Structure 1
Amino acid sequence: MPLAEIEPVSRESTAAIIARQLREAIMNGSLPPGTQLGETELASQFQVSRGPLREAMQRLVSEGLLRSERHRGLFVIDLEAEDIHDIYSARLAIERAAVLRVLAGDQAAAAERLEEAVREMAEAPDGDGVSEADIRFHEVLVAASGSKRLVRMSRTLLIETRMCLSALRRTYSSEEERVTEHKRITEAIRDGDREAALSLLEAHMEDAVQRLAPGTTLLP
């Protein structure tokens, strides 16, 4: 395409800004699963007309974050046991492949970056900070694989992963438990212990599924 035919990049629309803020609220748990979204209240809160608000909410419907119920309105999606199983099955497949690539490469450098994420978890001032560091740990793990495709696949699960972590944090008696799980995975990677690294990763994912959907089993 000739350069002269390229259109100027437009500024972010009002609908896009609203969609982004609603998306973030869903991810961090400010809008918990099952919450009904009222147009009147949200239009007043955002100080916008209903037009861009409706457009924003339809974007989230198309992304699968909101569901529409006839004669009732729009609701934040509920993560059912089957959804949780699917999310963690996909994550395990991606991160297991990442661990194998990391162990075949510069595992010491990867372990150093993972240790930094674990330190962030340990030093986080609250549960939200721990969850953010938790996300970074897994992003670092996948990025350390050097696979752009694994990174892209992992990012498609980011919103649902954040929703899971928001719910998951309430199941731990202390944040130290979460830190310890990630620390052990890091140590196995630093030691180059393939069996331990994979076993700990699988146990980590299985434990999350059991906490979020009791009675659901991730591994055969």
Structure 2
Amino acid sequence: MNRVRQLWQEGKPVVAGWLQLPGALHAEALARCDYDAIVVDLQHSPIDFGMAVSMMSAIELGGAEPFVRVAANDGSEIGKLLDNGAYGIISPMINDAGDAQHLGRAVSYPPRGDRSFGPRRPNLRFGANYHAQASETLVTLAMIETEAAISNLDAILSVEGIDGVFVGPTDLALSLGCSPRVDSTEGPVVEAIQHIRRKSAEASKRCGIFCGSAAFARQKIEEGFAFVTVAPDLAMLTEAARNIISRTR
């Protein structure tokens, strides 16, 4: 079973990493640091498809579930990533039920969806009958990061094939006229994030959020968020470098 789904069934939150830097070695190394899942970011990074495939294999080898934040809600891209080892998809800018339906159909085989058959890596892990259990194996999260998405949240949460939503805090803040900061404390952003979590719970769907610090991630877990990503690799690298330099000088 997908480790993320197993943790959810046990009533436990998921702590995930976030990769913006290309490279399989550090992807595997971080996967061995007790993350439950690691997200490869294809929207705001220089990681291309070929590198993403190598990184997903390395993440799986390291013991975490390979997730991908896709560049766009594109069925062809999503299908190729699923066929080559993504066991979780996070899709950006889901603004209405139509966007969510497109995502739900992209991750599902007919008759439920439009996914074309060709699972290369999943067959190695789950066997030749993978297609029959694919919908129960994958995790699909729709990013809520605009005022329009909040207005259409009930409809988005009702879409079949979507396991839940994932808050993109910086774009959400911009949409609300606030500063694009992770771990924001601005009133409209805080209120919107709590509204998204409450609505997700009412719909019996999971709610995730991008966090910039362990303290903020812990707070969100305590509030009931089921999936938190903590500090991308580039941020951790630069923070560690600053600490080393400051102690050296």
Q: TM-score range by the shorter chain?
A: under 0.3
Give me the TM-score of the superposition, normalised by structure 1: 0.25
Asked which structure has the greater CA Rg, the reply is 1
Q: Identify the structure with the greater helix proportion.
A: 1
Give me the TM-score of the superposition, normalised by structure 2: 0.23
